Amino acid sequence: MDKVLEEALKNCEDEPIQSPESIQPHGVLLALDYDLNILRVSQNTEEFLDIKAESMLQQPLQAFFNVPDVLEMKLQTLEHPLPDQQSDFYFQPNNLYELNCLANQQRYSCLVTFQEKYLLLELERVTPEYLLPDGFMISKELIFSFHQAPQKLEEILSKNLQRLQKLTGFGRLGVYKFDHQWNGQVIAEVKKESMPSYLGLHFPASDIPAQARALYTKNWLRLISDVDYTPVPIIGTTNLQTHLPLDLSFSTLRSVSPVHIQYLKNMDVKASCSISIIIDGQLWGMIVCHDDAPLYLSPQKRIVCVHIGQMLSIQISAYQKQQHTFLQERQYSGFEVISNRLIEADNLLLELKNSAHRLMEILTATGLWGIVDNQELLEGNVPSNPTERQILLDFLNDYFHKHDKPFITENLDKTLKISDEFTEKASGVLALPISGKNNHFLIWFKQEQITSAAWGGKPKKDIVITDGYPKLLPRASFETWKTNVRGESSPWMLNDLKGLMALKNAILTNLLIRSEKIAERKEELEKEVARKTESLKKIKSQLEDILASLKRDERLENFAYITSHDLQEPLRQISTFTQLMKKRLDGRLDAKEQGYLKFIVDGTENMQLLIDDLLEYSRLTRQEYAIEEIDLNKLLPKVLYLFQETIQNTEAQIQVDVLPVITGKKVLVQQLFQNLLSNAFKYRNPKLPPMISIEVEDKTNHWQFVVKDNGIGISEEFHEVIFQLFKRLHTKHAYKGSGMGLTLCQKIVQQHLGNIWVNSAPQAGSSFYFTISKILTYDSSNF
């Protein structure tokens, strides 16, 4: 918040509005001690009572009025009421009396407020009240309005505003409801045609600052009968030693802040009345009454208005509790059904996954993130970046070390700013710790809800510097001003934690049951180990046979290496001689002889390819390669560069994920990708440009890669055969090759403690999957 604005708001809140040392002129104020001696008096007594104000100071009340016996008896009973009892006595019918003035022989309505050290008497001229509604009938109609056919709260309030409008005569009445930040909104309204509507408009908290809200919580009604009034000063003192200002918190004649008066004038309002709606001791909202002409309400009508406000407060409270109870029971019922299933579940994470949609539906969430048994559950619209989710988890771990309750917010940014993408999916967060010791959580998300709010004028007020101090100016315009609210989700409708606790206990019970089953299985496993130990002897014998077989395979590989190496030189001689012969006999051979020569050339080329692949295959087992960190994001471009001409000629499209840094044998990993990409280009669909993608997925203990293409595909019956040595599915004339490419890939993957397999169908492309372990160590130079 701007520092100048913050200081202006502080200055506004420091204004002593409860003790303005003046009153409105439609009555007379007397402050008395409990012996009925007049301590202070408003200066308009001569106009009202034909008595000069100064002459009344330090005189007994009986010197100017006939004091009713009932008032004197009340004083003897109350003596000195405690501060927290003041509101109990204020604005009750038995606190309204009539006093006869001895000076002019006129009758005055007298409203008595009992303060801790003095009394306040507010005198107003008696006005005949014909057809004043009966309080019992008003209560009955108001209560019935809440218990008719199901209605929205706003509809019920509108009907009661109509009754209040008939009673008071105000031109516009609205119910002004506060939100959790003390901003207000007019949620119901009745009005005459000549006055503008404020229904649905929002107003900032600064319109009714904290000290004003405190007064509305103490005093149920505030009346301004004419905004153009001239304040009447109060003379005298309640304490000759301290000269403290008179507390008029409970006074209906209390003069109003000039800022508020100007605010009303800017609204073209001439008269105003506010009736508080207080629920559980908190200011829930107000009934705000306006008129475009001065309007006076007698004390009798004001008492009825307060009665309506009190009854409305009770009924709104009951209505909300009924709604909350219904929601609470529905939530608990939903949680209970899921909890019962979780207790009996053999696979806890799977059951949570199956219940995820319902768990989100109960709390109107858009995403669910669960961490149970070191396994992760991600359902719905959940932030996708694992690093950012970990930031939230670290924050929650710290929160739950300090607080023994769920973490709930509709605006995560105010507590923890992570990123814009995170805010879009997780403005609202409800986190339930299952077991802090084992880092078990359930976290619900609500996505950002961008709402458009219509304000009664620009929310930010203007500031003026007066005597070096910033002060707020009342809003000059109330034309609709629209703003977008971002970074917030819809509210979490959670009325108690019983359902969440049932869910938490069900998960803990499941974990406990499983731990008991593990203990029961321990003894069985020990017996099983004894049985297995005996069978190990047989397995040992089998392993010895396998070892002998492996040694034979090693000799075979040595033979393949020696053979292929020794064949290299004779094959080169044949190839060289054949090429020389073709050059010298060019143009002298008939078609048949040229065919023979071509057969020799093709044969030597195929033989050379076969020998090269044999050497490569033998090299995998004979040569040692260092294990190192490999940044695949740097390695793969080098591999693709080898196919640059093919990519251009075929108009191929290549898509590559962001790849990890792995641990492995760099030369072999490059050969692996090179072979798989070579196959993707070789066996492409001749009617389509090649589309090749390389994707990766983190599988905890290993990386899983897949190379996908849109080529001619492979029948399911050949999915295993293609990895065998020298196995080909096509003739050498259709596709060149020795049939060892995938065998080499399998050998490379096995050296990285992984597996390789294919998913494919004819004319549907192929997806070659392979895994590379994360647990290779640098001192493991070979396998």
**Is residue 227 within 8 Å of residue 265, measured between CB atoms?**
yes
Q: What is the phi-psi region of residue 191: left when phi exceeds 0, alpha when psi lies from -120 to 50, beta otherwise?
A: beta
Q: What is the DSSP letter of 775?
A: -
**Is residue 664 within 8 Å of residue 776, measured between CB atoms?**
yes
Q: For residue 730, what pLDDT is reported?
A: 53
Instruction: Give per-residue burial for 70-79: e unless 16+ CB within 10 Å, then b.
Output: ebeebbeeee
Kindly give, in sequence order, each residue whose CB lies less than 8 Å from that of residue 298, ignoring residues fewer than 6 positions away. Answer: 109, 124, 127, 129
Q: What are the structure tokens assigned to 401, written together? A: 């070390």
pLDDT mean over 527-546? 55
pLDDT mean over 589-603? 63
d(CA 311, CA 640) in angstroms, rounded, equals: 79
Beta bridge partners of 290: 172, 272
How far from 756 is each of 484, 639, 704, CA to CA, in Å? 53, 20, 10
Rounded to 5 degrees, φ, ψ at 381 are -90, 90
Segment of 345-354, 585-594, 708-717 carrying the highest mean pLDDT = 708-717
Long-range contacts of 695-700 (CB under 8 A, 24+ apart): 695/657, 696/657, 696/659, 696/660, 698/660, 699/771
Give me the helices (H) in 585-631, please: 591-622
Which of 710, 698, 700, 714 minimizes the C-alpha distance to 655?
A: 710
Beta bridge partners of 664: 628
* Least confident span in 221-225, 446-450, 512-516, 676-680: 512-516
pLDDT mean over 26-33? 93
d(CA 74, CA 308) in angstroms, rounded, equals: 26
Q: What are the structure tokens assigned to 204, written together? A: 């900032």
Q: Say if residue 126's pLDDT is above 90.
A: no
Rounded to 5 degrees, φ, ψ at 80 are -125, 95
Q: Which residue has the higher pLDDT, 675 or 725?
A: 675
User: How many other CB atoms are there within 10 angstroms of residue 454's CB atom?
Assistant: 14
Q: For residue 324, what pLDDT is reported?
A: 75
Q: For residue 137, what pLDDT is reported?
A: 65
Q: Which residue has the higher pLDDT, 486 or 357?
A: 357
Q: What percent of the chain has pLDDT over 90?
A: 27
Q: Say if residue 714's pLDDT is above 60.
A: yes
Cut 0.75: pTM above it? no
* Least confident span in 212-216, 381-385, 609-613: 609-613
pLDDT mean over 330-349? 79
Q: What are the structure tokens assigned to 287, written together? A: 């009934």
Q: Which residue has the higher pLDDT, 172 or 207?
A: 172
Q: Is 217 helix (H, G, I), strand (E, B) or coil?
A: helix
Q: For residue 241, what pLDDT is reported?
A: 45
Q: For residue 452, what pLDDT is reported?
A: 56
Q: 659-705 pLDDT, tens per residue?
A: 999 999 888 898 899 889 988 998 889 899 999 999 999 998 899 99
Q: Is 771 helix (H, G, I), strand (E, B) or coil?
A: strand
Q: What are the structure tokens assigned to 723, written together? A: 């990895």
Which of 476, 480, 467, 485 minimizes the C-alpha distance to 423?
A: 485
**Residue 781's pLDDT band (boundaries 50, 70, 90)?**
very low
Q: Say if residue 252's pLDDT is above 80.
A: yes
How far from 699 is each of 662, 672, 676, 696, CA to CA, in Å? 13, 20, 21, 9
pLDDT mean over 763-770? 92
d(CA 39, CA 56) in angstroms, rounded, equals: 9
Which of 666, 676, 667 minimizes the C-alpha distance to 741?
A: 676
Segment of 119-123, 361-365, 501-505, 611-615 carrying the highest mean pLDDT = 119-123
Which of 759, 748, 767, 747 minimizes the C-alpha distance to 630?
A: 748
SS3 annotation, 443-511: EEEECCCCEEEEEECCCCCCEEEECCEEEECCCCCCCEEEEEECCCCCCCCCCCCHHHHHHHHHHHHHH
Which of 109, 140, 143, 134 minimizes the C-alpha distance to 123?
A: 109
d(CA 5, CA 209) in angstroms, rounded, equals: 13
Q: Is 720 helix (H, G, I), strand (E, B) or coil?
A: coil
